[in-house]
Amino acid sequence: MSRTVAIAGVAELPHGKTGWPSTMALHEALVRAALDDAGVPPDTVDVLLTVAPRSDPYLVHAVAVAERLGLSPAHCHSYEAGGAGPVLMLRAAHDLLRAGAGRSAVVVAADLPLTGVSREAYVRNLAQVGPVHPEFEVPFGPTVPAMFALVARAYLDAYRLDDEALAAVARHDRAMAAGHPNAHQRGPMSLPAYRDSRMIAEPLRLLDCAPVSDGGGAVVLVADQPAADRRWPAVHLAGSGAGTTGLHLSFASSLTEFAAGVALEGALQAAGRRRADIDLALIYDCFSIAMLVNLEDMGFAARGHGAGVLQDRAAGAAGRLPVNTHGGLLSHGHPARAGGMSNLVEAVIQLRHAAGDRQVEGCATALVHGMAGVFASHAAALLVREEAA
């Protein structure tokens, strides 16, 4: 049995420093808001997929969320896939519904790393479970920012670039975030202001690093929903792909090329589409260097020229290929285990043509990219507005 599955609802709340009493309370609010957005009764949810947050690490997190909501979905699972998790959960929920496993599905990810845990606990947890090899890297003392800095230095040296390439990413994302009410950081960023931010791990400055943010999002998928019951134009998953190189940089065959392109190629092939069909790219950018490498790996810019795409306004909402119209992780915010969820939510809002002043005109196909670890694993999904399906 093959059924028609559509994304019917989304929810997101402001990122940054929040006043939520618990991470579970935030999950509940997001799920209820997404179900309301979709017009879907809670008792029709047969699939619930979550990511266990750092600020509230339940052993079987999805079941705890279901209990909080008063639900008993047949399929109730938590995923461990880093920043690639939202895309992979979307794929799993879609396939379960299409195969007849239920009526509707909820994908939710949220975390409170800014207010739900102490700074010391968060940093310690990241160091313990982060993508730093316990034998070959930890003894030398690198942090996660230092590992991304290693890639950044290799990239700048390989293509004979300076810090303006990194600044182009940070400044682009900040300009995009200015138009989004949920973004963590929306104030203007000049090149001097970028250069005045303190060095974290050379060549990465503070403004090259995504802010630690409270936040998250939720998505509702529905199988065979009658057109008369829809509150929004249907958004469909046209295809997805994934790619992996390895978890630790000590084993990487390259420090400037990874697997984002492999993930996109898989999504394009599954969807029967070309790069030229993509109207919007939402790229995972926990650090500025991640944007440059991923943008180039996916073939949207020549090697060493990713910054130019962002500098010449081609990546703005009215450009040739708009990129991260919500501000990306660098300015919209990075809610720890829920990183990348905002990419998925922004794609749906843009495909509904409901993004207001940041709307990409005629947006019909959006790329959602997620990344785990230090360029370790990638997932890509192509979402389409119904008439483009």
Tokens describing residue 358: 């940041």
Task: Name the token pair of 290.
Answer: 């991640």
Whole-structure pTM value: 0.95
User: What is the full per-residue pLDDT of the chain (389 aa) written as tens digits?
Assistant: 578 999 999 999 999 999 999 999 999 999 999 999 999 999 999 999 999 998 887 889 999 999 999 999 999 999 989 999 999 999 999 999 999 999 999 999 999 999 887 777 766 666 666 688 888 888 888 888 999 999 999 999 999 999 999 999 999 999 999 989 999 999 999 999 999 999 999 999 999 999 999 999 999 999 998 888 899 999 999 999 999 998 899 899 999 999 999 999 999 999 999 999 999 999 999 999 999 999 999 999 999 999 998 986 656 665 689 999 999 999 999 999 899 999 999 999 999 999 999 999 999 999 999 999 999 999 999 999 987 55
Supply 32's token pair. Answer: 């209820």
Q: Is the peptide bond before 203 cis (omega within 30 degrees of 0)?
A: yes
Instruction: For tokens 């040739």, name the residue.
Output: 320
**CATH node for 5-116+213-229:** 3.40.47.10
> Using CA atoms, how far apart are residues 368 and 365, in angstroms rounded to an integer?
10
DSSP character for 356? G
Instruction: Read off the tokens for 341.
Output: 């969820």
Domain boundaries, the chain: 5-116+213-229
Contacts of 300 (CB under 8 A, 6+ apart): 275, 281, 306, 309, 321, 323
